């Protein structure tokens, strides 16, 4: 049997349902990192016209929606997450008219559009912050940020011991002697969400983009807006190791929830089920679920799932806890393997062996897409792209790379531009063969281009296309609240999902050796070659099979 063979689906499998209600409960959402997706003008930087021209790739892939990382006006100190103007497109990406055309063309293809909103901080070039610097200590413009006097005899020490996620103190001193808070780069001052003007500004920003036609928002650092009263010291020497694991006074404070209740009311003003998705690093999935109560947000990224290794017991545990936590608030679970901030999972699962990493990545994808709820795909994972680990220091742009502590500063490795076609870099990323690319692509990527994989039944691209087609068509896949775990050998996960119109079984061999498992039905899809037999089917190591039971 060849890889990825698809058996017949139930005869009453539904047709395209892009207009279904509560579409977000089982949506597959594709993340586009704009500077690295497609370059329309040949300057080496991805842009909105380039993205628009490549939307048919996403339609054919079979996703429901596209999430765009920031393309707003920005000095690019942190790849656009330092926003200078929330209502303008940075010239490097195009114009506001280009953004409107992108949304229009996506909707023509029945693709919904989700854009980033960055409410925890702005750029130090934002007019509000520049005004605050001009106005001086004690002035009303400074109240929209966290300005404080320093400690020590002359105020020469930071106001507290908080550290930046990117490393170093979370405070920078200005010429008049005061300090301002920035949980990320110094070029990213934190807003003070105790100030009513900040609330009103972001309600206006949401309406601006909703009026332009976007279908929702991904909320950057959704857990960070509210800080504990008095900005207390933490007293821990390695704060970065606490993030997402333990409570800290600048993340996941209860006050954020009233903000999101007000945002949900805005979303309800607009037709078409507009949604909001939280990037919320919390200590537990139960804390993440608090963001998804019926009057708050719609989804939250499941970082616990993303950070779980290739381990049967660990994955089963996080799947069970995720479904339990989300069911308690009537929200869908979400599943994600890669994004623009983490090492690509084809490398993360490799344990030093690239071939093993790709096998596991394919198997992990089929596991993820078989689970109840919504799934996220990061650009390039459908091509099986590995992390680019060998980048010269002089081309790196991750701000954490230059600060020495905090995050490892290697996020550029997952942001290398997409390879579309051709035999040499930039592999169709731009319109000119051999043209520029803001980060260099490995020469070996010529075999990973979308063009090279198109139509190859053994390719990662065709596996994704097949999986998304089956997921959309099979009545037991997509939205749901539970999986029924089946008896299986050690190192194997097996579960059943049922609906009145069909039954589905997923079997995953996470071990390093082939294992014989029961044969519950016909093969719908597999990440590796399998030959089903009534007496039992031998599952290769690091493989997943979907069955029509």
Cβ(522)–Cβ(458) under 8 Å? no
Q: Report the DSSP pairing between strands 484-485 and 492-499.
A: antiparallel
Rounded Cα–Cα distance for residues 548 and 5 (Å): 12
Rounded Cα–Cα distance for residues 188 and 84 (Å): 10
Among 39, 69, 64, CA closest to 52: 39
Catalytic positions, written as ranges: 220, 269
CA–CA distances in Å: residue 82 to residues 90, 147, 462: 12, 18, 37
Cβ(34)–Cβ(429) under 8 Å? no
Cβ(524)–Cβ(7) under 8 Å? yes
204-255 pLDDT, tens digit per residue, is 999 999 999 999 999 999 999 999 999 999 997 778 777 778 889 999 999 9
| Locus of tokens 């999935």 | 285
C-alpha count within 13 angstroms, C-beta hemisphere, residue 340: 25
Structure tokens at 430: 């731009």
Rounded Cα–Cα distance for residues 393 and 414 (Å): 15
In sequence order, the β-bridge partners of residue 89 are 72
Average pLDDT value for residue range 345-364: 97
**DSSP reduced 3-state for 93:** coil
Residues 6+ apart with CB under 8 A from 503: 476, 496, 497, 521, 548, 549
Rounded Cα–Cα distance for residues 395 and 410 (Å): 12
Rounded Cα–Cα distance for residues 518 and 492 (Å): 11
92-109 pLDDT, tens digit per residue, is 999 999 999 999 999 999
Cβ(345)–Cβ(384) under 8 Å? no
190-204 pLDDT, tens digit per residue, is 999 999 999 999 999
In sequence order, the β-bridge partners of residue 217 are 115, 276
Cβ(506)–Cβ(544) under 8 Å? yes
At residue 283 the predicted structure's pLDDT band, cuts being 50, 70 and 90, is: confident
Rounded Cα–Cα distance for residues 382 and 296 (Å): 32
Rounded Cα–Cα distance for residues 35 and 50 (Å): 10
Average pLDDT in the chain: 94
Please give the span between the terminal C-alpha atoms of the chain, in angstroms, as a whole number: 18
At residue 408 the predicted structure's pLDDT band, cuts being 50, 70 and 90, is: low
Cβ(279)–Cβ(301) under 8 Å? yes
pLDDT at 25 over 50: yes
Secondary-structure breakdown of the chain: helix, strand, coil percentages, each rounded to the nearest 5: 30, 15, 55
At residue 406 the predicted structure's pLDDT band, cuts being 50, 70 and 90, is: very low
Rounded Cα–Cα distance for residues 400 and 167 (Å): 7
Rounded Cα–Cα distance for residues 358 and 132 (Å): 50
Cβ(187)–Cβ(82) under 8 Å? yes
Cβ(142)–Cβ(129) under 8 Å? no
pTM higher than 0.75, yes or no? yes
């Amino acid at each position: 049997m060849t890889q990825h063979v698809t058996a017949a689906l139930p005869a009453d499998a539904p047709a395209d349902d892009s207009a279904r209600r509560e579409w977000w409960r089982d949506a597959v959402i594709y993340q586009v990192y704009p500077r690295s997706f497609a370059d329309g003008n040949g300057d080496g930087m991805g842009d909105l016209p380039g993205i628009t021209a490549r939307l048919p790739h996403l339609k054919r892939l079979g996703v429901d929606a596209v999430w765009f990382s920031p393309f707003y006006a920005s000095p690019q100190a942190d790849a656009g997450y330092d926003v200078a103007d929330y209502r303008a497109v940075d010239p490097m990406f195009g114009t506001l008219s280009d953004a409107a055309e992108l949304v229009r063309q996506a909707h023509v293809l029945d693709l919904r559009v989700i854009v980033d909103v960055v409410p925890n901080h702005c750029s130090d070039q934002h007019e509000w912050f520049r005004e605050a610097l001009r106005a001086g200590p004690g002035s009303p413009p400074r109240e929209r940020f966290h300005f404080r006097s320093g400690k020590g005899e002359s105020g020469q020490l930071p106001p507290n011991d908080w550290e930046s996620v990117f490393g170093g103190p979370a405070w920078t001193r200005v010429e008049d002697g005061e300090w301002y808070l920035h949980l990320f780069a110094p070029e990213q001052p934190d807003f003070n969400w105790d100030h009513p003007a900040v609330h009103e500004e972001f309600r206006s920003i949401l309406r601006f983009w909703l009026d332009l036609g976007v279908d929702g928002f991904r909320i950057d650092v959704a857990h960070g807006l509210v800080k504990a009263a008095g900005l207390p010291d933490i007293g821990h020497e390695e704060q970065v190791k606490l993030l997402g694991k333990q409570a800290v006074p600048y993340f996941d404070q209860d006050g954020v929830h009233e903000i999101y209740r007000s945002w949900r009311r805005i979303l309800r003003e607009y037709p078409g089920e507009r949604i909001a998705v939280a990037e919320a690093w919390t200590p537990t999935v139960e804390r993440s679920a608090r963001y998804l109560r019926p009057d708050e947000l719609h989804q939250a990224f499941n970082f616990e799932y993303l950070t779980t290794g290739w381990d049967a017991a660990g994955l089963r545990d996080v799947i069970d806890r995720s479904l339990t936590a989300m069911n308690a608030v009537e929200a869908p679970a979400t599943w994600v393997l890669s994004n623009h901030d983490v090492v690509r999972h084809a490398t993360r699962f490799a344990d030093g062996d690239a071939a093993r990493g790709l096998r596991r990545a394919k198997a992990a994808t089929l596991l993820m897409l078989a689970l109840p709820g919504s799934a996220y795909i990061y650009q390039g994972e459908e091509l099986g792209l590995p992390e680019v680990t060998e980048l010269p220091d002089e081309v790196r742009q991750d701000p954490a790379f230059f600060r020495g502590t905090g995050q490892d500063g290697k996020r550029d490795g997952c942001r290398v531009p997409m390879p579309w076609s051709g035999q040499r870099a930039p592999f169709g990323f731009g319109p000119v063969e051999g043209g520029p690319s803001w980060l260099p692509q490995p020469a070996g990527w010529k075999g990973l281009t979308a063009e090279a994989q198109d139509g190859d039944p053994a390719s990662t691209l065709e596996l994704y296309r097949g999986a998304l087609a089956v997921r959309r068509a099979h009545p037991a896949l997509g939205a749901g609240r539970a999986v029924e775990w089946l008896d299986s050998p050690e190192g194997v996960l097996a579960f059943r999902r049922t609906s009145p119109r069909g039954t589905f079984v997923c079997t995953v061999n996470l071990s390093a050796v082939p294992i014989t498992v029961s044969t519950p039905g016909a093969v719908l899809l597999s990440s590796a070659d399998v030959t089903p037999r009534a007496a039992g089917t031998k599952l290769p190591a690091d493989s997943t099979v979907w069955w029509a039971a």
